[in-house]
Amino acid sequence: MVELDGAVGVGGGGGQAPAPAPHPRLWRLVDERCDPRALETDYVRRFHQHEPREHQCSSAVAKHIKAPVHLVWSLVRRFDQPQLFKPFVSRCEMKGNIEIGSVREVNVKSGLPATRSTERLELLDDNEHILSVRFVGGDHRLQNYSSILTVHPEVIDGRPGTLVIESFVVDVPDGNTKDETCYFVEALLKCNLKSLAEVSENRVTRDQTEPLDR
């Protein structure tokens, strides 16, 4: 985990990192590597713009996947089918096409302190590979939750790989601290990204072993 002072900053691709907030806040990038590269923290600054208020917390989680970007993105962008890789989703309903403003109704598996969530697609950029989602309803405690997920090409063991970064901002529930709230959400995101890696890497293995049609 690397910790940096300042609001989680992001703009579009290739822009300069934004200036620190007037009142710096602590945010962190949780990465499976002990020492995340400067490039990873730069991605967070450039693409993951959150401005947490005093009663909110914000964090980012990174995952390195041994699968090419196009394959990983093909799963991530399916706003209508989060159950493709999210292990806590049992069912999802969405009407119409996948577009900004689309709303999905998600049913959550038993064992979590929630049963349903209503979520709106805020941004879907197939060029920059950015997905942003906001929770607008449900029986969970994640009030005013908003997330940004980006995927970036990298090389892992000499093969095409993908770096996935997911950040969020959310209200801190009454009776909880910012650290407790961050750790809870980070644990959920890490489970999702671990599953995304498994699904993506399994598809790579399957594609490599399937015989060609003759």
User: Max alpha carbon distance in the chain (Å)?
Assistant: 64
**Predicted local confidence at residue 30, as pLDDT:** 59
pLDDT digits (tens, 9 = 90+) for 64-87: 999 999 999 999 999 999 999 999
User: In this structure, is residue 132 part of a structural domain?
Assistant: yes
Is residue 20 assigned to a domain? no
Residue 128 maps to a domain: yes
* Residue 15 pLDDT > 50: no
22 found inside a domain: no
Q: Is residue 21 part of a domain?
A: no
Give the tens place of pLDDT for each residue, 92-135: 999 999 999 999 999 998 777 789 999 999 999 999 999 999 99
Q: pTM for this one?
A: 0.82
pLDDT at 102: 97
CA-closest candidate to residue 147, choices 129, 133, 161:
133
* 3-class secondary-structure state, position 159: strand
